[in-house]
Amino acid sequence: MLRVPVTDIVTGHTTYYDASFRFSFDPVDGFIFEQFSSVALSAPAATDNIRSGRYVDSRNWCYRIEGPSMMPGGRSLFSIRAGGEGCSNNVGFSASIVTGTAAGHPDIGSRDIVPHLNDSWTYGIVSVRGGSSGFGGSWPVNGLIGVRQNGEQIVFALFNLNGGDTFEPQQSSVLARVGD
């Protein structure tokens, strides 16, 4: 199990551990705990404050951000897609975002631009180009994107110009969180 929360009842401080447990199964009693092993402090969960949920853009087009899924090295994976549950007015655009710095990023780490990217963004790539509805309609597949969460809003920016990566955003959109 990863990130098992253990709370000190005196201080209220919670520490997360990664641990292995061994159980046996008895047809009468069910699972029987035998022992635990390999207890280690868990790496902090890197989510860079990205919040899952339903978002809308300035034209009231709807998007869903899902995640996090844990990845190696303490990174987290999020996805965004147009439409989805609770969203019936647009489809098409989707992207993936991986927390952590650009260096060593599993999707963009080998791009020449990486050493020049600002660590104040969380980066990802466009998976499916959007249609004419909502943002992302002109954002190319595999285009470099950056995101920043600020409270109930998240900024999506395209770091691509004429098919090439740039170290400054070329287009952006702010989405407002409207629910889970």
| Torsion angle defined by CA atoms of residues 15, 65, 67 and 179, in that order, rounded to the nearest 10 degrees | 50
Q: How confident is the model at residue 43 (pLDDT cuts 50, 70, 90)?
A: low
Look at residue 86 in the predicted model and tell me its pLDDT.
Answer: 64
Given a contact cutoff of 8 angstroms between Cβ atoms, the answer to whether 42 and 96 are in contact is no
Q: How confident is the model at residue 9 (pLDDT cuts 50, 70, 90)?
A: confident
Q: Is the pTM here over 0.85, yes or no?
A: no
Cα dihedral across residues 55, 52, 132, 161: positive or negative: positive
Look at residue 66 in the predicted model and tell me its pLDDT.
Answer: 93
Look at residue 48 in the predicted model and tell me its pLDDT.
Answer: 63
Given a contact cutoff of 8 angstroms between Cβ atoms, the answer to whether 107 and 113 are in contact is no
The tokens describing 44, both together, are 């902090």
Given a contact cutoff of 8 angstroms between Cβ atoms, the answer to whether 29 and 20 are in contact is no
Distance CA 56, CA 156 (A): 12
Composition of the chain by helix, strand, coil, percent to 5 = 5, 50, 50
Helix (H/G/I), strand (E/B), else coil: 167: coil
Helix (H/G/I), strand (E/B), else coil: 121: coil
Q: How confident is the model at residue 2 (pLDDT cuts 50, 70, 90)?
A: low
Helix (H/G/I), strand (E/B), else coil: 97: strand
